[in-house]
Amino acid sequence: MNYGKKSASKKRNSLISRSSMMGKRAHVSFIRVLFIGLIALCVGVSSLGIGSIRGILANTPNVDEVDIMPLGYATFLYDCNGNQIRKLAAPNANRLPVSIDQIPEDLQHAVVAIEDERFYEHNGIDVRGILRAGVKALTSGGFSEGASTITQQLLKNNVFTNWTNESTQVERFTRKLQEQYLAIEIEKKINDKNVILENYLNTINLGAGAYGVQAAARQYFNKDVWDLNLSECATIAGITQAPTKYNPIENPKENAKRRKEVLDHMLDQGYITQEQYDEAINDDVYTRIQEAQAYNTQSQSKTYSYFEDELTQQVVNDLMNIKGYTKTQAQNLLYSGGLKIMTTQDPDIQNILNEEYADPSNYPDYVQYSLEYALTVKKPDGTEVNYSKEMLKLYFQNEDSSFDLLFDSQDEAQTYVDRYKADILSDGSTVVAERVNFIPQPQSAMTVIDQHTGYVKAIIGGRGEKTASLTLNRATDSTRQPGSTFKIVSTYAPALNEKGMTLATTYEDEPITYENGAPVNNASGSFNGTTTIRTAIRNSVNTVAVQCFEDVTPELGLKYLDNFGFTTLAHGTEADTDANGNVFTDANLPTALGGLTYGVTNVELCAAYAAIANNGNYIKPVYYTKILDHNGNVLIENNSAGRSVIKETTAYLLTSAMEDVVQNGTGTACQLDNMAVAGKTGTTEDYNDLWFVGYTPYYTCAVWSGYDGNQKMPEGDARNFHKTLWRKVMNRIHQGMEYKEFEQPSGIEQISICSETGLLPRAGCPVTEEYFDVGTIPTDYCDQHFYDYDEDEEEMEIFDEQLTPTPDPENPDGTTENPDDGVIDVPDDGSGDGGDNGGEDAGADNGDDNIYYYD
């Protein structure tokens, strides 16, 4: 560098020149502007950031409205004895709530040690953890290091439940910021770490469909959480970071690595000693896990029973109708609301039904199979198409119009499936899904009800293996024609109850027709003249039932059927109109014999007969008694209040007549070994539906048999196996029970009548004993049986043998002018002595007649 005088002068002049001075001033100004701009930018960005943060925090949920209690608790069903029979749970709702006192300290410490080691020290957020995560992010360029506390994770799972749908860093930053802010506020508000930890441990996803530590303990070890040892606690604690990866059932090696990491943290943090560590690390916990899975698989089927199917539908309906929930809300509450449902199911009775329906010897030797089929394929153009059993049926009906999806073997059915599928796939389509089921035929269904309470004790909706939940339940879903079982509830109940008729009322069993001219046929193919209602019930005489129903009037009969609880009848309303404008009603004569528009369900027919068994009081079938919410409060109390349909005396008269059905009528195959039984058979004209509905002083049971496709039942055993099932089931149910007769109520009186005419007996009448409501005791005398004892002493002897008459103590001379006072007046030989004419002109005496009093 030149430091000479000339050079220095030149430098000085340059510095003080005007142009230089202006340039330097501009440079300084630029720097100042740039600096000020940077400051302003920082301030602006800071202000913007602060404003944004304020905006984010302003939209944070209100701490006073936040509920950290986990949602999605499993619902439990209990039988009539209070024993658990089923757990209902949605995929993410398999939670079993437990208190912090029930959770072992080893499990609490294991979770804290691996998830949030400063949990008991921080105020909701872990600043050291956040800084550590930040350093890790800067050095690695990623954000793999987590810094969420247990409090934050609890909020993420129970409040910020949509976090799995976050697609941008902005959304993630927003949620994390709100989460951290709310964590601080929550801990200020609660100020109890145990409350936060309890809710967290009841919330976390622990794999295999288990949510919360109690569900996990049951799932993996088949024990309660409070019975877990240290090794088992560490196994469960290690799952939460990655429930699939660390699932100890599917990935025991990965879980073992994680379990060791948990135990290492517990040892380092002073929660366990080296001795405890060594014992736990050497524990063969995974063998026990596999053993528990085998037991769980055997102990409870994933498929709901027929009873459980119907129960769940009843609960959803009641939550909607009684509590006002929408269908979606009701279903969510059922499967994830942590309800306790006390059912009416009797496990012993249900097991009897299950065992008898599983016994092949209870069915006809000739078994056929119907086909259930569904197929989804992907076409070459990528579209998906569904095919059903109805489409398969139409396909083969083009070859054979009689094709009906009924096969003599499963192999035969499979050949038709294979042919149909091959044709569909011939264009290059591929199978997406396929379902094939072979259903044994004929089918059957049964319901058992305690008539005194209306409690449904057991249901079975079909024979054969039940392969899925919420499938066809023939006891509750299928409507079938009830046949002659309907005579009791449609015809004879209203006839005896309010039409003044009695079991001794007579009709002529003779050829008659319906309104359209179609004949009314008896099953026997014959007609037997004058017939009492008792005899008509015992022998199931169709002509008498139709005539009686006509006298009752179909409109009144339909009203009684409504009161008996039938909900599937046609009333001629808009709902009973078809696409062609035809209106259907069951207010017509065929209803007397069970000829209905739609049919009835097994359970409703059972309940109607249970009303008769319950002294005429109908109770709608009850499947549960009480529903408790998650906190143990009563949500619904299912009171079994009933209504009177018929008088107690009417119920007894019907019971008495139906005892005859079982003793010496059409239902003799249903006699029990040591119990009184009343019941009625039912068979449709073409043997499509076969029924027996009967009851004892304890239980009412209805059984149905038939083909799902409504085919005619073949001759032989197929037409009687339902009675065998009924007798076997009810014999087992009543085994060891005290023998009882049906209790006769006051208001019933038994008197002697002419068995053929139903009137008070005269000389020569075949006499029987009959029960009457005291208000309907007959006052007229038989006018069909007369003997002339003046001319034929032999007939007098017959009279003596039949009636064992005694002289009237109040009229020893043998004369009377009041044939209705209990004195039997023997008609004369036509000489004009005043023989009885239906109660008139009786009193003149020729001195030769013998007049007797009959008691």
The least confident of 182-191, 494-503, 823-832 is 823-832
Rg of the Cα atoms in the chain: 43
pLDDT band of 504, cuts 50, 70, 90: very high
In a domain, 139, yes or no: yes
Instruction: Tell me the pLDDT tens digit for each residue of 657-697.
Output: 999 999 999 999 999 999 999 999 999 988 999 999 999 99
Asked if pLDDT for residue 804 goes beyond 80, the answer is no
Asked whether residue 117 falls in the same domain as residue 221, the answer is: yes
Asked if pLDDT for residue 63 goes beyond 90, the answer is no
The model's pTM: 0.77
Asked if pLDDT for residue 60 goes beyond 80, the answer is no
CATH number for the domain including 261?
1.10.3810.10
- Which one of 250, 273, 299 terminates a domain? 299
Asked if pLDDT for residue 252 goes beyond 70, the answer is yes
In a domain, 476, yes or no: no
CB 839 within 8 A of CB 820: yes
Asked whether residue 532 falls in the same domain as residue 649, the answer is: yes
Asked whether residue 683 falls in the same domain as residue 710, the answer is: yes
Q: What is the pLDDT of residue 161?
A: 58
Q: Which residues face 95 on adjacent strands? A: 73, 211
Asked whether residue 398 falls in the same domain as residue 505, the answer is: no
The least confident of 57-71, 623-637, 690-704, 815-829 is 815-829
Domains of the chain: total: 5
Across the range 342-359, mean pLDDT stands at 98
Neighbours of 813 (CB within 10 A): 10
The least confident of 24-33, 301-310, 620-629 is 24-33
Helix (H) or strand (E) holding 509: strand 506-509
Angle at CA of residue 634, ends 629 and 637, nearest 5°: 125
Q: What is the pLDDT of residue 834?
A: 33
CATH number for the domain including 517?
3.40.710.10
Across the range 96-109, mean pLDDT stands at 94
Asked whether residue 648 falls in the same domain as residue 512, the answer is: yes
Give the residue with greater pLDDT, 492 vs 816.
492
Residue 715 three-state SS: coil
The least confident of 442-446, 575-579, 805-809, 826-830 is 826-830
Give the residue with greater pLDDT, 775 vs 841.
775
In a domain, 828, yes or no: yes
Domain of 53?
22-59
Q: What is the pLDDT of residue 153?
A: 86
Distance CA 119, CA 113 (A): 9
Asked whether residue 790 falls in the same domain as residue 712, the answer is: no
**DSSP category for residue 673:** S
Asked whether residue 84 falls in the same domain as residue 54, the answer is: no
Instruction: Tell me the pLDDT tens digit for each residue of 88-102.
Output: 877 667 788 899 999
Asked whether residue 79 falls in the same domain as residue 51, the answer is: no
Q: Give CA torsion, residues 668, 669, 671, 672, to 10 deg.
A: 170
Most confident of the ranges 134-143, 795-804, 831-840 = 134-143
Q: What is the pLDDT of residue 131?
A: 75
Across the range 50-56, mean pLDDT stands at 54
In a domain, 471, yes or no: no
Q: What is the pLDDT of residue 80?
A: 96
Asked whether residue 721 falls in the same domain as residue 830, the answer is: no
pLDDT band of 836, cuts 50, 70, 90: very low
Instruction: Quote the tokens at residue 176.
Output: 């994390």
Q: Which residues contact 311 (CB under 8 A, 6 or more apart)?
A: 77, 341, 343, 345, 623, 624
Asked if pLDDT for residue 42 goes beyond 70, the answer is no
Q: What is the pLDDT of residue 181?
A: 80
Share of the chain above pLDDT 70, in %: 79
Across the range 773-792, mean pLDDT stands at 76
Across the range 214-222, mean pLDDT stands at 93
Residue 705 three-state SS: strand
Distance CA 815, CA 831 (A): 16
Asked whether residue 122 falls in the same domain as residue 51, the answer is: no
- Which one of 381, 406, 441 terminates a domain? 441
Residue 690 three-state SS: strand
In a domain, 706, yes or no: yes
Asked whether residue 789 falls in the same domain as residue 848, the answer is: yes
Asked whether residue 55 falls in the same domain as residue 142, the answer is: no
